[in-house]
Amino acid sequence: MGDYMSVLMRTICRRHPEIEIYEVNTDLDHIHMLVSVAPKMAISEAVRLLKCNTARMMHRKFPFLEQVYTTEHGIWSEGYFISTVGTNEGVIQKYIAMQGAEDSGQAQLELG
């Protein structure tokens, strides 16, 4: 699903040029992204756009999701984590790219 989620996210960014995605990687139950949001847009609005649009697109492509996710939040949880990126952007990009292997213990990544 990681490749499909990347395509969805990039499709949304074409519709909303104030959001730019540099890196996307999924794990079994979460997604990591390196995103740039224009200063005029609230981060919460960018997250809302990404979550709402990807959920709608996934429900169209995979109708069975209606039976799997029956809560009001659907495929996404309520929360999200945001952190700003400074001079270590390359390290964060590498972390996101290696996320699946990192979680399974297959990658040795030094953040420091």
pLDDT in tens, 62-91: 888 877 776 666 777 778 888 777 667 777
Burial class (CB in 10 A: 0-12, 13-18, 19+), 64: exposed
> Mind spelling out the 3-state secondary structure of 58-91?
HHHHCCCHHHHCCCCCCCCCCCCCCCCCCCCHHH
Token look-up 């799997």 returns: 68
* Superfamily for the 2-85 domain: Transposase IS200-like (3.30.70.1290)
Residue-range domain boundaries for the chain: 2-85
pLDDT confidence band for 96 (50 / 70 / 90): confident
Q: Which pLDDT score, from 0 to 100, does residue 71 have?
A: 64
Please, which residues bridge with residue 25 across strands?
Answer: 32
Is 3 or 42 the better-scoring residue by pLDDT?
Answer: 42
3-state class of 47 per DSSP?
helix
How far, in Å, CA of 25 to CA of 63, rounded?
A: 23
How far, in Å, CA of 94 to CA of 50, rounded?
A: 22
pLDDT confidence band for 106 (50 / 70 / 90): very low
Full-model pTM: 0.67
